């Protein structure tokens, strides 16, 4: 069965530190890849997405992610975090198959806490 793995469940770091969150998936076909963020008590918001082309994608709020096809990975990065980046981060995969209909498979999420 397809799965999406996020490497860390909980990350604590100081403001201005760099952040990297790992995401791997197990599906071998064509995929769309996403990172969503959920601020405390809020809904999921799209940070960035990869459909095709340049494997380095830039998103909102200074986030970027790199798709490495050979490693089935889509890691999220931010060079310098702020306190406002405290949130839950979800990696999601959409299989481009005839029966997936846009269904997203989510990773378990990573809780990121940024301390002042």
Partner 1 sequence: DTAVSQTPKYLVTQMGNDKSIKCEQNLGHDTMYWYKQDSKKFLKIMFSYNNKELIINETVPNRFSPKSPDKAHLNLHINSLELGDSAVYFCASSQGGRRIKAEAFFGQGTRLTVV
Binding site for partner 1 (CB under 8 A): 32, 34, 36, 38, 42-46, 49, 51-52, 88, 90, 96-106, 108-109, 111
Residue 115: strand, helix, or coil: strand
Residue 71: strand, helix, or coil: helix
Which residues on adjacent β-strands are paired with residue 82? none
Nearest residue (CB) to partner 1, 28 versus 102? 102
Residue 44: strand, helix, or coil: strand
Nearest residue (CB) to partner 1, 72 versus 89? 89
Could you give the CA distance from residue 108 to residue 70 in angstroms, rounded to a whole number?
Answer: 22
Nearest residue (CB) to partner 1, 81 versus 92? 92
Q: Taking the complex as a whole, how short is the minimal distance between the CB of residue 92 and partner 1, in angstroms?
A: 8
Rg (CA), the chain: 14
Q: Taking the complex as a whole, how short is the minimal distance between the CB of residue 116 and partner 1, in angstroms?
A: 24
């Amino acid at each position: 069965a397809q799965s999406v793995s996020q490497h860390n469940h909980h990350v604590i770091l100081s403001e201005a530190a760099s952040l990297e969150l790992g995401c791997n998936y197990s599906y071998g076909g064509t995929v769309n890849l996403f990172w969503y963020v959920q601020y405390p008590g809020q809904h999921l918001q799209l940070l960035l997405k990869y459909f095709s082309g340049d494997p380095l994608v830039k998103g909102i709020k200074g986030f970027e992610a790199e798709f490495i096809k050979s490693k089935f990975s889509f890691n999220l990065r931010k060079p310098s975090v702020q306190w406002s980046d405290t949130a839950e981060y979800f990696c999601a995969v959409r299989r481009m198959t005839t029966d997936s209909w846009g269904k997203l498979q989510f990773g378990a999420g990573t809780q990121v806490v940024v301390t002042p």
